[in-house]
Each structure stands twice: as structure tokens, then as C-alpha cells.
Amino acid sequence: MKIDLDSENEWGHFIDPHSFQIVEIIDEVPLGSFVVIKEREFIEDIDRTVIQTIYGIVEEKKFQPMNKRELSKLMSKACGKYILDFNQLPPKVMVKKKLQIDKPAQLAFIMSNRDTFHLKLDKDDLDGGNPYEIINSIIENQDFKSTMYDREEKWKIEYAKSSRSKCRTCSSNIEKDTVRLGEPHYFEEHLNYRWHHEDCVFFQRMDKENIKGLDTLNDEDRKRIEEKLDV
């Protein structure tokens, strides 16, 4: 089905439940796809623009919105099926917590820095198989680090190289040589950044380890940003 997005204020991706590929929503979204839509909205009460996320799934002829927890449950099922079919973890799925015998496996699907889905696989998701044994046998032959969850996709901070980039929060241009923050975002396996003004970002939701490029700023700018990060 077609999901119509207001191109000015909405953008989104769908995840193919069979391949776990992340695809930008441009036109058709296949049946069964998991959908993540971002919506820019001005909230008068706080006098600022915020980005809301809408989660859902494409059902027969309609888009069924649901909360992230519900969608994560469906993803866990799809993840279990992928593991049984291919004997490997789906792309961008990592082990979040050390596996424990007789406990559900806790995995994470890292769609982007802002959208991580916590997946919990129990026996039912693996056709009655034991999550500990099945997933252990998959990861024991892989480099441990490659299967463990770490937030390697970092935000990027830098001076705008031109005045052409648009802030994804407020839609106005970001002036050349001013600080801009890039939100990591994958499109067809290529890492891109969605840029924001310094004043348009909620620093409370970040931590220092999750930003790269602080060392490229001058002392004054770096200290100001670090203070915001420490709030």
C-alpha cells in the first residue's frame, strides 16, 4: 500500500520483516512491513518544534499504528523466524544482554541511534527451540564484538560547511560556519546525517560518548556544548 507523507514535515522508513532491510518510504510499502514515521510538529505550549515518532505495521489495505512495545513484539517474532530460516542474526540485530540458560534472549535491533528496538525472544518465537542454545550456536563462531550491542552510530558535531543544509527540526537553513549536529541515519547501508541547529537539539537525551567531533570545535564552542551535555 501507499503511505502518503507530507514531504515537508514527515519522513519515514519501513523494515522488511523477512530481510530486516531498512528502506526509506518513498512510495509503496509492502504488506507486513514494520513502519517508523517521523513527524515534525510545533508545540505551542513549549514554543518549540519537536519530532514525534509513529510506529505501526502495514496490514491489508491499511496502516495500523501501534506503540513501540507492541511493534517490538512483532519484530521479535520476525527475528525468531529469520534466525530459524538463515541461522544467523538479522542485519543490525545484536545481543543486548548476556544470554542466560532458560531465559528469553534479549536482543536489540539498532535501526538508528534514536530508534533501537528491544527484542525479547522466547521459545515461542523460535518454534519451541531454546533461545540460549540457538543464539549461542550462531554467535559463538562470530567475532564477539560484532554481535554485541554497542552504540557505534554516533551523532556528529561540526561547523556547517555551507549555508545549504536545512535543520530537520525547524526547517530553516543552518548558516555556514555555525555549529550543527548530525543525527546518524542509514539509507541503503550508507551512513548519512540529518542536521540540526544547536538550539534545536535536546541535549538532555545525549551523552558525551555518543557524539563525535567535539574536538573539531574551538574552545569556546566546545565548552558550551559540553556544558549542555552535562546538564
Of the candidate spans 103-111, 139-147, 153-161, 189-197, the one that interacts with Zn ion by CB under 5 A turns out to be 189-197
Distance CA 106, CA 97 (A): 6
Closest to Zn ion by CB, 52 or 64: 52
Number of DSSP helices (H) and strands (E) in the chain, helices first: 4, 12
Candidates 105, 110, 200, 225; binder of Zn ion (CB under 5 A) is: 200
Are 103 and 96 in contact by the 8 Å Cβ rule? The answer is: no
Closest to Zn ion by CB, 77 or 166: 166
Q: Which residues of 211-222 are buried (b: 16+ CB within 10 A; e: fewer)?
A: bebbeebeeebb
Candidates 169, 181, 182, 183; binder of Zn ion (CB under 5 A) is: 169
Closest to Zn ion by CB, 125 or 183: 183
Asked if residue 167 binds Zn ion (CB under 5 A), the reply is: yes
Candidates 23, 54, 148, 170; binder of Zn ion (CB under 5 A) is: 170
Asked if residue 201 binds Zn ion (CB under 5 A), the reply is: no
Helix (H) or strand (E) holding 191: strand 190-197
C-alpha cell at position 84: 530459524
C-alpha cell at position 168: 530537520
Closest to Zn ion by CB, 7 or 141: 7
